[in-house]
Structure 1
Amino acid sequence: MPKDVPITFVCTTKFLRDTLCKNLEQLENTDWLGMSNKYALTSLVNTLRQRCAPTAFRMANSPNDTKLINLGRRGAQQLARERGAQLVIPNLDPTLELTGARLSTLTQRVAYRLIRNRRNTPERRSTVKTVQSVLLSIKEDVNEYATTQDVWLSLRTKDIRLPIRDFLWKSLHNAFRCGSFWENIPNYEDRAMCQYCGTTESMSHILVECNAPGQDEIWQMAGKLWSRKQALWEKPNLDEILGSNLRRWLSVKKKRRLFVERLWRILISEAAYMIWCLRCERSIEHADDDNWTHSTAAIKARWECTINRRLHLDIAMTHRRFGRLALDRNLVIGTWHGTINDEIALPDDWTVIKRVLVGIDPQIFDLEARG
């Protein structure tokens, strides 16, 4: 296009508009920190600054715009099939190219992150192995393409409490000192063994295999709660636990069940974290007593308290005093629908009544009753 001809970009998202018009100065001041397609965007900015005619960006807002976009995509796909991938080298003006961060607006936090990005930090072999195993499990379960970046970003979901995010992050890095970590440390080799089972301890063994009281009971109660939302229940393995935030549940019409997915994230993460806490109490706090274990009543009470506390946290977060951070009432009601005690007697919007009157059905925590 000639540089003196006006252009209007019709976009399907607000990304280009916000990046090039709203957030451009901030991004250039921080050297495009956090933008994975930095070099493509800087080349685009350089090219647009060479123009002397108006350039506009707007969202597609009519059927004709959608047809135009689809026509352009089909044309690009046809050219790609006929000519293959071609390298595009834009004609950039070096006088319009900005590099680095602006010193007058630089903060210590931004400087530290920029320095970290310049360092070539090698990946840990155990981390790569764990993440690849999680990705393989995700692709087998939900039949969709997921990337390594998706696994790490999934840990930032607001549905998971901060201590549990930290637990999942360390588990992906295999950073906990258990099992094989102690095998090569003189005089501490015995710590590699599970005190209860007598086998080599690992995160998979702790969360889904150990015979010590706690693991089986918690998953049993989690399964009973999950059965209120979804008929099928199978105890998850380690890969499914670490990738629980990426799990997708579909309806008969192949539509995502967002409420079910949210409950799955909460349930699996809370269960895994509690099993880990019980193991630490048994193996560290009571290391001197090999016969000490948690009682069934204590395990049941702690799990019941944890789930009800999480329910009440969701209810509290629907209050309007939290402004834009407040949870949508329909989201909370949809997440816990079917699990509330005497839900039929409650009003349609039970988030507005006193919390003491709303709780999880006690039958879900009954270990003696199956199903």
Structure 2
Amino acid sequence: MKAKPHRKSTFINLDRTRCAIQEISGYTPTDATIWKSIRSTNLQRLTREFLWKLGDFWSHIDHLDMMGQCHICRVPESLEHIAVECDAYGQSIVWNLTKQFGDWFWMHLGRLFAILVSIAWHLIWKLRVDRVMVNPNMPLNKDAIHNQWLKMVNAGLQRDRILTNKRRFGTLALKKQIVLNTWSGLLMDENSLPDDWISTRGF
């Protein structure tokens, strides 16, 4: 019921998001569209939650103020810093894994783009939380990060398959063709799979 406070950082982040989208696609989204995109069902619930908890959010919570500053670079934390600027080990590995889809991936900006980029961001965030709050001395290696990334991508694929179940989700179920189109060209041994692989056992 109360008027929403005007936060400078929120205004700046919305404007930067809008400019980035316009540069990539030529489309200029409204503030409402940007906020709605964070609630998109294309993103897993935990991913949607973490997107709004970054930046200044942490500095206002007791005992979590240390989450507001990057311990590696000694600068204020932000989504941009976590995702693309931080020198912490693992960030570049995650993006290189995501970019392995090559030109095909970037030419199909849409549902798959949203899923995989959100997975990359979320994994980078999880690596940071583990480093800062769980076990700062925990050794990381490329294979371990690769396995975490692959596990999250496979979870996204399996989630899509489950959401096509009309018996379980009724009118809210995803259309099979949307899922087939989203993941087409990315599956292991795809040529040996049936055209409708969604219900294939052991997949």
Provide the TM-score with structure 2 as the length reference. Answer: 0.86
Partner of 2:20: 137
Cα offsets for 1:153-189 (capped at 9, x unmatched): 1112110111111122234xx3443xxx59xxxxx88
Query: What does residue 128 of structure 2 align with?
Result: 279
Q: Is the 8 A contact 2:161 2:198 kept in 1?
A: yes
Q: Which moved more, 1:298-307 or 1:202-211?
A: 202-211
Q: Which amino acid aligns with 1:144?
A: Y
Deviation at 1:193, TM superposition (A): 4.6
In structure 1, give the amino acid aligned to 2:114. R
Once residues 213 and 161 of structure 1 are traced to their aligned partners in structure 2, the CA distance between those partners, rounded to angstroms, is: 25
The answer for the alignment partner of 2:50 in structure 1 is: 167
Map of 1:296 onto structure 2: 142
Tell me how far 1:262 sits from its aligned partner. 0.4
Q: Distance in 2 between matches of 1:147 and 1:192?
A: 29
Aligned partner of 1:202 in structure 2 is: 77
Number of residue pairs aligned between Structure 1 and Structure 2:
196
Which residue does the alignment assign to 1:154? 37
Mean CA deviation greater in 201-210 or 315-324: 201-210
Contact 2:19 2:28 in 1 (8 A): no
Distance in 2, matches of 1:164 and 1:323, equals: 24
Q: Distance between the aligned counterparts of 1:145 and 1:304, measured in 2?
A: 32
SS in structure 2 of the partner of residue 284 of structure 1? helix
Identify if the C-alpha distance between structure 1 residues 146 and 192 changes in structure 2 by more than 3 Å, giving closer, same or farther: closer
User: 1:264 matched to which residue of 2?
Assistant: 113
Q: Distance in 2 between matches of 1:301 and 1:278?
A: 13
Q: Answer 1 or 2: which has greater helix percent.
A: 2
Stretches (4+) displaced over 4 A: none
User: Within 2, Cα distance between the matches of 1:164 and 1:306?
Assistant: 11
Unmatched segments (≥5 aa) in structure 1? 1-115, 183-187, 233-248, 250-256, 358-371
Q: Secondary structure at the match of 2:28?
A: coil
Equivalents in 2 of 1:338, 1:261: separation in Å? Answer: 15
Matches of 2:183 and 2:70, distance apart in 1: 39
For residue 212 of structure 1, report the CA deviation from its aligned partner: 2.3
Describe the shift of the 1:193–1:162 C-alpha distance in structure 2 as closer, same or farther (beyond 3 A).
closer
Rg comparison, structure with higher value: 1
Among residues 86, 99, 102, which one is paired with 1:223 in the alignment?
A: 99
Shift of 1:147: 1.2
**Structure 1 residue 216: Cα displacement:** 0.8
Corresponding residue of 2:90: 214
Aligned amino acid, residue 342 of structure 1: D
Aligned counterparts, 1:86-125, within 5 A? 116=1, 119-125=2-8
Contact 1:228 1:338 in 2 (8 A): no
The Cα RMSD (Å) is 2.3
More moved, 198-207 vs 143-152: 198-207
Distance 2:69 2:103 in 1: 39
Alpha-carbon distance in 1 for matches of 2:121, 2:134:
19
1:244-259 matches, cutoff 5 A? none
